[in-house]
Structure 1
């Protein structure tokens, strides 16, 4: 009669191998999509696209996000995710041109990039090293994200600088929490599709960079 412990060990090893494969593929694809976004952002900047084009590209990106999730289980998902991240990168062009035109703009953009990298790698390393389960944060983070989005929409009409800063600070905290949450899901088998995992982490980094840049600019007095 077969020893059930042998099956348990085999199952555990199989799960570990599968998780490591998802992690490897996720970080590889994440790096490629971030580079592609940087490229399309550069093209957008050189073309001098207006803010209206950035808004349109963001809306297109929102639609492509649904396509990515729908096709994530097939090879079409790879095409969709590059289309999505390319469009999202291009939508950053007008914003980056605005910040780079400020007196201390280039330094602020570099500081935001460095800050984003430090937060992402630091939190990812913590989640990977400790292998803690951060799934308990899911509900709280989702509520926080909804509140932040509603506040952003409201501030379009209110235009209160202090509220804008508060929203950016909140989004930085929420995205930091989501990096822990999404990395934990991969480690603990909650996410087994590397395309979906990549999209989640990409959006965390994307929003983290935008709001760190906003905070740094406001605190520097250049805005």
Structure 2
């Protein structure tokens, strides 16, 4: 004879798991929607800045001279880093609206700083790289979401890696070493691959922590 109490407990536990899964799914979808919108802002800002900076025959406009060929270009290059540092130090005390606004500003600044890639690479090359990167991000994020391995131990190491990369990039601005640039690129791929999985798992944990 079936035990009604056990059946009730089993059903309640299953229902709780479904509620948790649905809540987590909605939470992650919201996160990725915000990330996708930020990426769209970055892309539009980069495309718009390039077309404002360069004429049809490849000459720099006054705006292009300002952001690409004057001392102000350092502001353009370093502004996204400043926005990240501001968010890192102030995020806990900011309202949701202020944090989101800062994120949109950051996304636009990243687009402005990345607009130089249109000066160097073709649209086809940029598109291919975008989709390859998006596929890699999706795979790594899926790993971070599904893995049962605790990735928290890698967090500090990966953050230190990012700091090291930033320092190396700043140094190489003056050294102009192709070997160092290649090393930065290779190590950067590994570090940010790890960060993608780590951050995805951390976002998932934040949902359960409330």
TM-score bucket (shorter structure): 0.7 to 0.9
Q: With CA pairs under 8 Å and 6+ residues apart, which has the higher RCO, 1 or 2?
A: 1
Deviation at 1:158, TM superposition (A): 2.2
Rounded Cα–Cα distance in structure 1 between residues aligned with 2:145 and 2:117: 32
Partner of 1:175: 192
Partner of 1:79: 101
After TM superposition, list the pairs within 5 Å mapping 1:59-208 onto structure 2. Answer: 59-65=78-84, 66-67=86-87, 69=91, 73-93=95-115, 95-100=116-121, 105-189=122-206
TM-score (norm 1): 0.69
Deviation at 1:37, TM superposition (A): 1.1
3-state SS of paired residue (2:206): coil
Rounded Cα–Cα distance in structure 2 between residues aligned with 1:159 and 1:113: 26
Please, what is the CA RMSD of the aligned residues?
Answer: 2.9
Partner deviation per Cα, 1:169-213 (whole Å, 9 max, x = no partner): 1111111110000001112337979xxxxxxxxxxxxxxxxxxxx
Pair member with larger Rg: 2
TM-score (norm 2): 0.73
Contact kept? 1:132, 1:184, Cα under 8 Å: no
Distance change in 2, residues 1:184/1:61 (3 Å)? same
Q: Which stretch has the larger CA shift, 55-64 or 151-160? A: 55-64
Aligned length: 183
Contact kept? 1:155, 1:164, Cα under 8 Å: yes
Gaps of 5+ in 2: 1-8, 54-63
Gaps of 5+ in 1: 194-223
